[in-house]
Structure formats: structure tokens, C-alpha cells
Amino acid sequence: NHEVGKNFIEKIIDEDLAEGTYTKVVTRFPPEPNGYLHIGHAKSILLNYGLAEEYNGEFHLRFDDTNAKKENTEFVDSIVKDVEWLGAKWVGGVRYASNYFDQMYEAAKTLIQKGLAYVDDLNADEIRAYRGTLTEPGKNSPYRERSIEENLDLFERMKNDEFKDGEKVLRAKIDMSSPNINMRDPIIYRVAHVTHHNTGDKWCIYPMYDFAHPIEDAIEGITHSICTLEFEDHRQLYNWVVENLDYPHPPKQIEFAKLYLTNVVTGKRYIKKLVEDGVVDGWDDPRLVTIAALRRRGFTPESLKNFMKSTSVTKANSSVDYAQLEYFIRDDLKPKAPRLQAVLDKPIKVIIDNYPEGQVEYLDAPNNVENEELGSRKLPFERELYIEREDFMIEPPKKYYRLFPGNEVRLMNAYFVKCVSYETDDQGDVTVVHVTYDPETKSGSGFNGRKVKGTIHWVAAHHCVKAPVRLYEQLVDEEKGVYNEDGTMNINPNSLTVVDGYIEENIKNYKPGDAFQFVRKGYFNIDTKDSTQDHPVFNRICAMKSSFKL
Ligand code: ATP
Ligand code: MG
Ligand code: MG
């Protein structure tokens, strides 16, 4: 009974439910609190949460915090916030793998008692040398045949702080000649004198990921333990652990391909380096694709959910174009976001010669021509305006319908104006354009005496807000790819440009975090970190158009 359109994980779940392997689906998202979450994690969160929802099951949020060295509570807090923001609802509080350390310790003892684990005195280099290679089997450690009693005693003494880091490890006793190197007596516990963010100094031994993870899943009754492809070779060990510990309904590990975006730095390790090297201004720098950065940049949970739905869940690695992500934020904001007029960078002043000096008129302007529900606003209009530099040309090319000497255009939401003259500075750059307006042609008046081909936007020179607007390009060079041959990152020197924006004064009614379309210019928001009530700073979320089509 395979429904068309289901992904391979849904098909596995359908089969498991049909066969009665499980009666209820329980999934989890198990982040390591060693950095901020990124867009790839969002895929995992929404996949796991989506499956729990679809099958009326449970979704858990569990910190996989068994590697004390790299973890801290700043990361824990940011991860909880991000998962919440994405709308994934977990059942039963935030969980920590470290809360299961007692059970893991007992599980290790169970393996020792079964003759399936031993304490090894070889050091890290020796263990590596004994492990063998893909083509060569490994060799048994000389300590492999210790008695159960001796192993129990030594393991307890490891716990009781009698050994230094690296002096002894506990290893699973499996098969040193297994074709799967992960099965060649993997280390399951090691001595590490580090303070843990949750358990403090209670432990000086910590379980290894491959041993801890299946136990965490089994304790919580996880049914489908979804992870990414790099764990495929670890599945045999995962199964070995749950089988030998006799869990009644052992969880099942399923691997899928990571989400990669073209020309974007995903991967905690690389993002961390950009933060540490000061290439970006923190984990939430809007040029990054951490969830915190995407939120700050103006992406919405809906846009990320729709984007994820458009990417497939498969076992084949592939990259999704960044433009596809932008498509979904544009799609989400298009009907929702108010549209304002803003002139970005080096505007040209327009003087309406026949408009009374000192007069200000408030024109009715719809907030979003595609969504009447957003209502309208009053747009101040006066004798002096600003327009985009690119909307005026002294000698226009063919098919240029904007302002040029003698041409008439519509000022958006206002009147027709006709260019009568212009002024330039010593360099020949245009400083002022003189126009006349025709009061008959007011927007909304129904005037149809004549037509113009171009409509341009503008702001009133004395009724606008001047503010920095940040324009972003990818952090890494679009053409050359993310990495150089020597492994260094190929940073785009133009990833951030700050221009002076002139925004209609209605912007004062909005607050940090609000997003809008600046007509003809793209989607922008007010930065939540660097803005104050009187001094907004804007981020460009995305441009108006993209190359991506659904
Ligand atoms: P990174 O590779 O960026 O360092 P990680 O896998 O080390 O990430 P974890 O905190 O261990 O980070 O990941 C939590 C979960 O998110 C894991 O199940 C992991 O497989 C999944 N995940 C991480 N990156 C991606 C990605 N790019 N696409 C889909 N899932 C991902
Ligand atoms: Mg990991
Ligand atoms: Mg990692």
C-alpha cells in the first residue's frame, strides 16, 4: 500500500506500522550543543517533526551532549529558541543525553558481564595501529581477554577517577577483522576530566557517540532514528548495541542525504570559523544560513517549511540552489508584506517647478496592491522629491521609459510629471531634475486622457527617513564555489554593501523585525540587533526577482 508521492522514510514507516513492528511513531531531533543550528538542521527538524505529526506520533528534542569539551549553554539556549521558532513542538520537555549517563554506565556494565566489552590499556596511537585498514584486518589487543571480574573492577575504577585521560578505555568486543571498521572493537567509554554543562564534575568518564546514541533512542522509545548519510556505516554498530542490551522494541536507524545549498557555507565547523575569524559579526550575521541569521535576515518559519517541502528526502547527495530558498521567502512575503517607497543610494533630487513651495499633500496609497486587506496609508508629497539615480538619464537608450528630458512618467501613487530641465555638477553628474506635474493625473482619479509608459517611485525630500540599508551578496563567490583548492574559503569581498536609503516616513510606524517590500527594490526588514527606535537599520532579505522558477 505505497502511496504515490511518499518519500522512502514514509514508506518504511508505513510498512513498520502495517507489520506491527511499532504501533506509534516517535522521532527526535538530537543536536549536539556545540554551535548554532543552520538550514541543514532545519531540514532535519522539520522532517522529524513532520513525520511525528503526519503519523500522530511524538517528536522529541534531545541534546546529544555526550562530548563535554565542545558544548555550552549558550548553544543550548539558541537551539531551543530556533526549534521553537520553526514551530516544531516536542513532547515532554527538553531532554538531555547526559541525563542518561547512569543508564549508559549500567549498560556498559551489562556488556562487560556478557563478555561483550573490555577495558583496554593501549593508547590512542596503538589502538589506531591495531585497527587495520580497509584492506587489512585489525589485530586483537593484548588486553582483549581480560576476565569479566577484572573488567568490571577496572571500569569501576575508571569511573572512580583512578586513571588519567587516555590511560584506559572501554571497548566493545566485536570483531577485529570485520570488513566494517566501526565494528573492530569500537571504544565505547573513555576517561575525560572535563566539566560537563549539565552534570558538572560528576563524571570523569564519558560514553562515545556510537554507544550513547542508540541507548538514548531506546530509552525514549524512539522508533525511527533519522540521521544523515555519514552514519550509514555506523548502523551495524547501532544495531549491535540495541540488540545486545535487549531493548524490547529497538529503534531503527534510517539515513538520508544532507541538505546542501550551492555557494553557501553550511556545516557548523565552517560557520564557527567564519565567526571566530571575524569574517562575520556573529552566529546571526544575516549573510550566514544559521537559523538565527535567517530569522534576523527576515526569513519566516513558513518560508523555510515550504522550502523544505520543495526539497526531496532521499539517499542521494545533491545541492539545492540558494535561489530556491529565496523563492520561498519572496512567495511568503509577496501578499503579506506592506509595500513602501524607498530610494536607495545616491538619489537625484526632483523639483516640481509648478508645485507650490511649502505645501504638503497626503496621497492615498494602497499598502499592497495584491492584498486589499492590508489597507492603505497616507503618503506625503511635496515640491521636492528624491528618485533613484538610475531612473533618470540625459541620453536614454531605446526602450528606456523612465525620466529623461522631455519625457513624461507617472510618479507612483501620485501624478504624471514631465522633465523640463536638469542641473549637473562639475563632474557632469546630475544633481537636480526639474519637472512639471499635471494635477489632472492624480492616481485614483480615473484620469485617462493620455498614457505614459513608465512608473517610478520616489520619496518626499523633507518627509522621509534616511537610514543605512545593507545589501547582501553570498559570502562565498558564486562563480568559484565555496572552497579553494587548498581548502580555504573563497570569501566574496562584496558580501556586504551599506548604502544610504531614503524611506517614506511611514516607516516610523514599524518596528525591528518587520519586513516589507520596497517597491521595485526587493524585500527588506528592520534589523533586530542594530536598530534603535529612532535609528533603524535595514537588511535586504532578497531582490525582487530571481532566476529560480517553481
Ligand atoms: P554539521 O555537520 O553542520 O556540523 P552536525 O551533524 O554535526 O552538523 P548535529 O548537532 O550533530 O550537527 O546534528 C543534529 C542533527 O541534524 C543530526 O541528526 C544531523 O544528521 C542533522 N543534520 C546536520 N546537518 C544536516 C544537513 N545539512 N541536512 C540535514 N540534516 C542535517
Ligand atoms: Mg554530529
Ligand atoms: Mg558536526
**45 Cα–ligand 1 center, Å:** 10
Q: At how many degrees (to 10) do helices 39-54 and 301-310 cross?
A: 80
Burial of 340: CB neighbours in 10 Å, binned 0-12, 13-18, 19+:
buried
**39 Cα–ligand 2 center, Å:** 15
Mutate to test the pocket of ligand 1, among 228, 234, 274, 308 (most ligand atoms within 8 A of CB): 228
* Interval 432-483: pLDDT, tens: 999 999 999 999 999 999 999 999 999 999 999 999 999 999 998 877 777 8
Strands, DSSP E only, in 192-335?
205-207, 224-228, 252-256, 259-261, 318-320
Q: At how many degrees (to 10) do helices 148-159 and 101-113 cross?
A: 160
Instruction: Retrieve residue 274's grid coordinates.
Output: 567564519
d(CA 101, CA 213): 11
Q: Are strands 408-411 and 455-456 parallel, antiparallel or unpaired?
A: parallel
267 lines ligand 1 (CB under 6 A): yes
Atom number of ligand 1 nearest to Cα 37: 10
30 lines ligand 1 (CB under 6 A): yes
468: CB partners within 8 A, 6+ apart: 498, 499, 500, 501, 537, 538
The CATH code of domain 8-256 reads 3.40.50.620
d(CA 181, CA 267): 25
Instruction: Retrieve residue 446's grid coordinates.
Output: 480615473
**32 Cα–ligand 2 center, Å:** 6
269 lines ligand 1 (CB under 6 A): yes
d(CA 342, CA 517): 9
Question: Which protein residues have a CB closer than 5 Å to ligand 2 (ion)?
Answer: 32
d(CA 245, CA 253): 16
Instruction: Please state the separation of Cα 246 from the chain's center in Å.
Output: 38
60 lines ligand 1 (CB under 6 A): no
d(CA 365, CA 340): 9
Burial of 230: CB neighbours in 10 Å, binned 0-12, 13-18, 19+:
exposed
Instruction: Retrieve residue 367's grid coordinates.
Output: 499598502
* Interval 43-81: pLDDT, tens: 999 999 999 999 999 999 999 999 877 778 899 999 999
Residue whose Cα lies nearest atom 22 of ligand 1: it is: 41
**228 Cα–ligand 2 center, Å:** 9
Rounded to two decimals, the pTM is: 0.93
CATH architecture under which domain 348-387+389-456 falls: Beta Barrel (2.40)
- All residue ranges of the chain with pLDDT < 70 are 1-4, 546-550
Report the residue count for the chain.
Answer: 550
Q: Where in the chain is the domain with CATH 2.40.240.10?
A: 263-300+311-338+463-550, 348-387+389-456
- Say how many C-beta atoms besides its own lie within 10 A of residue 309's C-beta: 11
Mutate to test the pocket of ligand 1, among 41, 272, 314 (most ligand atoms within 8 A of CB): 41
Atom number of ligand 1 nearest to Cα 44: 30
32 lines ligand 1 (CB under 6 A): yes
**66 Cα–ligand 2 center, Å:** 11
Strand partners, 227: 255
d(CA 533, CA 475): 29
- Say how many C-beta atoms besides its own lie within 10 A of residue 267's C-beta: 15
43 lines ligand 1 (CB under 6 A): yes
Q: Are strands 464-472 and 538-542 parallel, antiparallel or unpaired?
A: parallel
Report the amino acid identity of residue 96.
Answer: Y
Residue whose Cα lies nearest atom 13 of ligand 1: it is: 31
Report whether 262 contacts 232 (CB < 8 A): no
539: CB partners within 8 A, 6+ apart: 286, 296, 297, 298, 470, 472, 524, 525, 526, 527
Q: Where in the chain is the domain with CATH 3.40.50.620?
A: 8-256
d(CA 369, CA 367): 7
**469 Cα–ligand 1 center, Å:** 33
Q: Using alpha carbons only, how large is the chain's radius of gyration in Å?
A: 31
d(CA 143, CA 130): 12
Give the ligand at the shortest distance from the Cα of 34: 1
Q: How confident is the model at residue 1, as a pLDDT?
A: 43
Q: How confident is the model at residue 127, as a pLDDT?
A: 97
Helix then strand then coil, in percent of the chain rounded to 5, is: 30, 25, 45
259 lines ligand 1 (CB under 6 A): yes
Residue whose Cα lies nearest atom 18 of ligand 1: it is: 227
**151 Cα–ligand 1 center, Å:** 35
Report whether 458 contacts 464 (CB < 8 A): no
Atom number of ligand 1 nearest to Cα 33: 10
Strand partners, 434: 351, 421
Q: How confident is the model at residue 477, as a pLDDT?
A: 80
Mutate to test the pocket of ligand 1, among 36, 39, 44, 320 (most ligand atoms within 8 A of CB): 44
Helices vs. strands in the chain: H and E counts, helices first: 12, 27
d(CA 77, CA 255): 27
457 lines ligand 1 (CB under 6 A): no
Instruction: Retrieve residue 273's grid coordinates.
Output: 570559523
28 lines ligand 1 (CB under 6 A): no
d(CA 38, CA 511): 26
Complex ipTM above 0.85?
yes
Instruction: Retrieve residue 69's grid coordinates.
Output: 569539551
* Interval 408-443: pLDDT, tens: 999 999 999 999 999 999 999 999 999 999 999 999
The chain-wide mean pLDDT, for the chain, equals 95
Residue whose Cα lies nearest atom 4 of ligand 1: it is: 268
Atom number of ligand 1 nearest to Cα 230: 20
**471 Cα–ligand 1 center, Å:** 29
**269 Cα–ligand 3 center, Å:** 6
Has domain 263-300+311-338+463-550 been given CATH number 3.40.720.10?
no
Instruction: Retrieve residue 472's grid coordinates.
Output: 547582501
Report whether 110 contacts 245 (CB < 8 A): yes
Integer distance in angstroms from the first to the last C-alpha of the chain? 30
Q: What sign does the CA torsion over 62, 67, 73, 79 have?
A: negative
41 lines ligand 1 (CB under 6 A): yes
Instruction: Retrieve residue 221's grid coordinates.
Output: 522509545
